[in-house]
Amino acid sequence: MFDFIWNLGSFIVALGVLITVHEYGHFWVARRCGVKVERFSIGFGKALWRRVGKDGTEYVVAAIPLGGYVKMLDERVEDVPDELKHQAFNRKTVWQRIAIVAAGPIANFIFAFFALYLKFLIGVPSLIPVIDSTQAGSPAAIIKVDGLQRVMAVSGKPVKTWSDVNLAIVGHIGDDSIDFTVGPVDADSTTIGRQYQLDISQWKFDPDKQSPISALGLGIFRPQIEPIIANVAKDSAAELAGLQVGDEIVSINAQPYTSWSSFVTQVQQAIDQKVVMKINRQGQQLLLDVYPQTKQDASGQLVAMIGISPTAGQWPQAMQFDMQYDLFESIPAAFNSTWDITTLTLKMIGKLFTGDVSVKSLSGPISIAQGAGASATIGLAFFLGFVALISVNLGIINLMPLPVLDGGHLMYYFIEVISGRPVPEKVQEVGFKVGAVLLLMLMSVSLFNDFSRL
């Protein structure tokens, strides 16, 4: 229940900020162009708060936080007194109308830059991308891993973190190949690494079950897991059997403990079976009978679980760093990050239409809420990065040439620029209806994907 409330609260905060930014873009430019704004609303439905400003605009916060709008004086919508007609939206030049409509999405891009600027000022604890193996039969199997290897670049672009690697791989979904440059862990910009071209023409992966990194076959280096219990879940099989935090696992079913992965495999296979664990507790060895509980994993398979987690080893200092910049260095870092997110989003939309990316990858409000809650839990810098990502996506989606979106209005206005006369009202009305149906279909697919992931 707490997770639900936290995710919902984080979602409302994130969406509220992004909607306010978007609508304020329209509002600010409309006022500069001499248009009278009658209402500035964040949300739809019943007003929870309202106030009329000195400028005559009614400011509203409504009950349904899934959008917002700026209502401008417009003769196409209502009768306008003669003395106010010069303030009507429809009386403005086509370039002024273009500026007003485009200001919303542009505000989203500006806000994304600002959020990322703050993120880099605050700093993000990061790990350099180091691999210790590759999976046989995978696209990455051609990479020769001699000890630990650092991923230096993907398709010629330098990468500093696993997040950079992940975004670079995602951008190549549907391509025939992807280039990797790897080198020693202490590699820097002057190091010449080994280059490999991975064949991904037949590569497929399910984003709901695995990350692009693991699906490609890259074995991420992780510190050795210690066989010391760090957490015992409440009401779990482990708690019922008497296992405690700090217990050291010695053996399971008389087989000596060798690694955490093999231990997990043994437990998961013990469906409807007892497992006997030998543990070391403060120098005393004990034998405990544990009766695993059966649950479904992410793929729907039944597995046995006992409800414990181990103690993670320490990351080497050489692999850790803070991605933090000063007041001036954060400017190009934020610009480059905003540009990377924008180009990646455009690539994914293009590949969605070509079929290289499945519609199953579309996410709706539930997935966004989960992402908002998860990033907010980690820290402010991560939440700012997540909000920037959604802000860029919101800006791009609104620029799509669907008549019900800002991009559709812009399409009509540019036709007016070229033809010298407005698009007929009847044509616009038909376009709005078609756009509404297409947008509803898109939202339905996104919601279906969300519910299927629950």
Q: Between 205 and 132, whose confidence is greater?
A: 132
Q: Are residues 203 and 319 in the same domain?
A: yes
DSSP assignment of 66-81 equals EEEEEEE--TTTS---
Domain boundary among 297, 323, 349: 323
What is the model's pTM? 0.80
| Structural domains of the chain, count | 3
Q: What gap in Å lies between CA 11 and CA 368, rounded to an integer?
A: 7
For residue 276, give the DSSP letter: E
DSSP assignment of 181-245 equals EEE-TT--TT---EEEEEE-TT----TTTS-HHHHHTEEE--PPPEEEEEEE-TTSHHHHHT--T
The residues annotated with a catalytic role in the active site are 23
Structural domain that includes position 18? 2-33+92-122+388-453
pLDDT at 372 over 60: no
Judge contact between 293 and 306, C-beta under 8 A.
Answer: yes
Asked which of 65-69, 209-213, 319-323, 387-391 is least confident by mean pLDDT, the reply is 209-213
Per-residue pLDDT tens over the stretch 185-211: 888 777 888 999 999 888 877 766 778
Asked which of 10-14, 252-256, 342-346 is least confident by mean pLDDT, the reply is 10-14
The CATH number linked to 265 is: 2.30.42.10
Domain boundary among 323, 345, 380: 323
pLDDT band at 359 (very low <50, low <70, confident <90, very high): low
Q: Report which of 408, 451, 434, 383 is spatially closest to residue 17, judged by C-alpha positions.
A: 383
Q: What gap in Å lies between CA 80 and CA 89, rounded to an integer?
A: 11
Q: Are residues 287 and 397 in the same domain?
A: no
The SS3 of residue 178 is strand
Kindly state the percentage of the chain with pLDDT values over 70: 89
Query: How confident is the prediction for the chain on average, in pLDDT?
Result: 85
pLDDT band at 447 (very low <50, low <70, confident <90, very high): low
Residue 441 dihedral angles phi and psi, to the nearest 5°: -65, -45
CA angle 100, 102, 108 (to 5 degrees): 115
The SS3 of residue 117 is helix
